[in-house]
Structure 1
C-alpha cells in the first residue's frame, strides 16, 4: 500500500478514528455469448431442501441488493439511472437452460459481476436451484414480522401499508396528515387519524420527475426533487418542483430549477438528486446531488460521455432560494459558485439531511464499494468533505499511482462488490486534490454500536469502542438514512433532544456488510456532543430497534417516529409507528 496512504491513516488514528483492469467489458454492448457446451449443462445436484435453503441464502447475500428480495429486479441498489436488473421471474430468464444460468452467474458481464472466484461450483448450482424456485419462496420482505424494540422504552406497531418503492415520508404543517412518495413519482397522503385511508395526490405526469428521490413540505407547499432522463436515457438532468393548492383547491405546479444535461453511467452508482431540507429561517432549501461514480473512477456510459467522472453538478449539496422559479443550474463549478447556490462539496451520497434545534445542518452519507466507513457530517457552507479522495476518514487508494487492485493483498476490496473488478484499477489520471482545499472531517463515533471498521494496518475487522477509540463514523456499507432530530425536546428520557437514524442495509443479506456485522435494518439513537476544541461533534451510537425490512426514511411527529419501508416492486412495504414510552 502506498506510503502516503498509510501515513495519513496513522494520523487519523491518533486523532480518534482509531492489475489493473480495462474498461472494455464495461463498455461492451454485445449480448451474452454462451458456449454451446455450457448451454447443454444441467443441474447436477440431487433434490434436497438443503440446496434450496443454501441457494436462498446465497441469493440474499450476493443478489438481493440489486435484484430485490423476491427477484423482481427491484432492489434499491439496482434502481440507478440507465441500469435495471433483470426480473428473474420473467419468461426471458426462466426459459433459459440451467446451464445458461450457471454460465452467466459464473462469468458475469457489464454490471453483473462474475462469481466463479467467489462461490464454489456447488454454490453456483445452488443459486441456480434457488432461481428456479423463486415462485415458491417466501422472502423476508413478504413476511409479517414486526420490528422489535431492543430497549424497554420503545413499542412498535404497524401503522399503514404503503405502495411499492417508497422513498420519502413527511408530515403536513397542521399535523393532520403524513405524506409519502415513491421512486416512480407517486405522492400519497394518509390521515393521521385514519391511516387506512390513502389518497393519491400526484403522479409523475403532474411534476415531470420520473425518478423521484427528494420530498418535503414547507408552509403547506410541497417540494419534490429528482431526475429526468434525456438523450435516450444516457443523459439526465436534475429537477425541483414546487406544488401547492390555492384557496379554491386548484393545484399549481412551478419549476424551482432544472439543470444542464450530464451523463448517466449505466451502473448502480448514479445517485441522482435526492434529499431536501428547508433552512431554519425558511429562506432557502438544501438539496443533495449524489455522485455519479463509486469512488471517482471513469464512468462513460458505454462511451456516450467519454472520460466522464463526477461532474460539477454531482457529489454536492446546493442551497436554493426557496422562492426561485425556473432557475437553471449549469454544469460548471465556477458558475455555480458565482450564482451562490453551491453550499458544500465532496459528499458522495447524503441520502438524508436534517437540522438540529440550533438550525445546524447534518448529513448521513454512504461510502463506496471499498471498505471505507459511512460518514456523518456537520455540513457547513463552503466546506469540502473529501469525496472522491476520502471517505469515512480513509483515503481512496485509486488516486495513488503505485496502488494495484488485488483482494489478496488489499483486504478492503470485496470481490462481491458491484465495482469489482471493472471500476478498481490503476488510475494514473485520477484527478488531483484541488489546490488550496482542506477536507473537513466527519464526526467521530465512540460506539458502543455501529462502530466496526477494518483496521488499515492489519486488515482485520475491529470494534472501535472495544479498543477504547473512535471511528469516522458508522460501520461500512450500512447505508445510513432516515435522520431526524428531536428539535422540540418532545421525546422522553434519554431520547430527549437527541437524533435518530436508520440503517437500510442488513449484514445478514449484504456481501459487503456481512464481514463487519450481522446487524442492520435497524434504528440508531445518536447522542451528539459538541467538542469546542476541534469545532466538531463526537457521537455515541446505540441500537434501539431492529427487524425492519429495507427502512428508507423516517419522520418524527410529536412523541412518535414513523418509519417507512421501500417495499420492492410489487408488494409494497409498511409504515411502522415507534412510540417512546
Structure 2
C-alpha cells in the first residue's frame, strides 16, 4: 500500500472520516489509521528536532490506540491537559507522571464521532461531533459538560444540533469540527467546513442534483455558551436571522485562537489545486472568499473560459484533479456583491513557497521580495495558539504558533504535499497589524520532524503538541521566557 499517497489525496483535510467515515481527509485517514494499527507494536517515532539551541523538547507520552487522537486542550482553572480521541474518549493527562486516565467517553456525552474540543474558564468542556444519517446525510452536534459543584464531575447536555444536510460522499465532507471559546466565556465559535473541494457540483452520484455548498457548510457559527438544544437550520438566511452566523466564505477553518489583543484568527485548509493555505483575521459579518477567492487568488472555475488543461496549478497527484473536479463550469454561482476579505500576507522567511501560474515553477516568495497569502500550499495549518500571557522572551512575546500537518518534500515537488517545504513543523508567527484592515506576519520554523501534528495547547512558555501519526505522541516544546 502506498500510504503516503493514500494519506494525502486531499492533503489531510479534516473531514467526516474523523468519525471513521472519512479535517482530516478521511478517505486517506482511514487507510493511514489501518496502517498505524497494524504496525503499532513495532512503529517507532522519530523525535522532533528543535531548530534553535534555546528550545527544548521532551516526550510526555504516546497515545496510540484503536481510535486516533485529534485534540488537546487545557482546563484554564488549573492547566490540566486533556486529549480527545476520534471516538469521543477524553483522557486527563498527568504531566508529572507522563500518564493519562480515561475520564469521559461517548456513554457520558453521547457523541461517538468527535472532531473538536475546547474548555472554558469555568472548566466546562465543549465537544463538537457529527452523526451519519440515512441517504448520506449528516448533522452537527455540540455538547457541553458543566461541572457539578457537589461531585466535581461534569453533567453533559446538548448545546446545539444542526438540521440534516447532504454529504458529498467525497474526501471533502469536512463537516463540524473546530471550536474555540471567547475570552469572556459567553460564546463558542464552531467551524462547519465545506462539502466540496472548491465549490464544484457534488451531487453524491445524483442523489442531490446540482448541489454545491448548502446553508450549513463553509461558515463559522457563533453560539451562546448558555444555550440548550439550539437548532441550526440548513438555511443561511435563517441562521443569520438567529444570529448564529459569525463569518462566511471559509473552506475549512479547522483551528481558531484568540490573540492577546482579543482578535480571533483561523487557520484555513485549502483545496487540491496549488493555492496557498490561509491564516485569516476572523471578524463578525465578514466573508473570506470561498469558493471565489482562495489563498489570495481567484478560483478559475468561476470564469466561463476556464480550461483545466491549461491550468499550471493542477497537480495530477491530487484527488480532485484525478477525479476531474476541475472543469469548465458555466453554472458556477456569481461572486457576491459584498467585499471579500483577503488572507494575512506572509513576508517569510519560511513556509512561503508558491507555484507560478504562468510557467508552473516553484518560487520562494521572500527570496524575490514577494509575499503570499499565507502559507505554502498543502501544508494544512493546524494547532494555532498564542502567547496570551506574554511570558515568553521578547523575541516570541505575544506571538502565534501554528503546526503544519502534511508531509512535504524539502527539496523538490515529488510528494502530494508542500513543495520545497518539509512541513510537519511548528512555526513562530510574528503578527503585525496593517492599519485596521488586516495583518501581515513573519513565519519562522522553530521545530521540525513531527508525525502529522494535529493540535496544540499552550501553558506558559510550553507548547504541547499532539500527533495524529506515528505513536500519536504528546510533545512538550519549551521556549525561552522573559
Is TM more than 0.5 here?
Answer: yes
SS at structure 1 position matched to 2:150? coil
Quote how far apart the aligned CAs of 1:194 are: 2.4
1:580 aligns with 2:471: no
Match of 1:549 in 2: 451
1:189 aligns with 2:109: no
Structure with greater proportional helix content: 1
Quote how far apart the aligned CAs of 1:342 are: 0.5
The 5-angstrom pairing of residues 283-294 of structure 1 reads 283-294=186-197
Match of 1:372 in 2: 275
User: Which among 417, 442, 445 is matched to residue 513 of structure 1?
Assistant: 417
Match of 1:13 in 2: none
**In 2 relative to 1, CA 217–310 (structure 1 residues): closer, same or farther, beyond 3 Å?**
same
Structure with greater proportional strand content: 2
SS at structure 1 position matched to 2:237? helix
SS at structure 1 position matched to 2:47? coil
**In 2 relative to 1, CA 208–428 (structure 1 residues): closer, same or farther, beyond 3 Å?**
farther
TM-score, normalised via structure 2 length: 0.91
Contact 2:50 2:446 in 1 (8 A): yes
Match of 1:562 in 2: 464
**In 2 relative to 1, CA 328–77 (structure 1 residues): closer, same or farther, beyond 3 Å?**
closer
**In 2 relative to 1, CA 76–536 (structure 1 residues): closer, same or farther, beyond 3 Å?**
closer
User: Which among 332, 345, 351 is matched to residue 430 of structure 1?
Assistant: 332
Q: Which has the larger radius of gyration?
A: 1
**In 2 relative to 1, CA 78–319 (structure 1 residues): closer, same or farther, beyond 3 Å?**
closer
Contact 1:176 1:191 in 2 (8 A): no
Unmatched 5+ stretches in structure 1: 1-55, 69-73, 94-133
Contact 1:269 1:294 in 2 (8 A): yes
User: Which among 370, 394, 398 is matched to residue 301 of structure 2?
Assistant: 398
Contact 1:480 1:502 in 2 (8 A): yes
User: Which among 47, 53, 60 is matched to residue 146 of structure 1?
Assistant: 47
The 5-angstrom pairing of residues 327-366 of structure 1 reads 327-366=230-269
SS at structure 2 position matched to 1:378? strand
Match of 1:313 in 2: 216
Quote how far apart the aligned CAs of 1:457 are: 2.9
User: Which among 382, 387, 405 is matched to residue 486 of structure 1?
Assistant: 387
Match of 1:457 in 2: 358
SS at structure 2 position matched to 1:303? coil
**In 2 relative to 1, CA 208–405 (structure 1 residues): closer, same or farther, beyond 3 Å?**
farther
Contact 1:65 1:76 in 2 (8 A): no
Contact 1:65 1:78 in 2 (8 A): no
Quote how far apart the aligned CAs of 1:244 are: 2.4
How big is each residue's C-alpha offset from its partner over 1:419-443, in whole Å with a ceiling of 9 and x where there is no partner? 1233112111111112x21101110
Distance in 2 (CA, whole Å) between partners of 1:157 and 1:272 is 34
- After TM superposition, which residue ranges in structure 1, 4 or more long, deviate above 4 angstroms? 74-78, 80-90
User: Which among 199, 207, 213 is matched to residue 304 of structure 1?
Assistant: 207
RMSD: 2.7
How big is each residue's C-alpha offset from its partner over 1:272-311, in whole Å with a ceiling of 9 and x where there is no partner? 1111111122211111111111000111222222221111
**In 2 relative to 1, CA 76–340 (structure 1 residues): closer, same or farther, beyond 3 Å?**
closer
Unmatched 5+ stretches in structure 2: none
Quote how far apart the aligned CAs of 1:251 are: 3.7
Contact 1:347 1:387 in 2 (8 A): yes
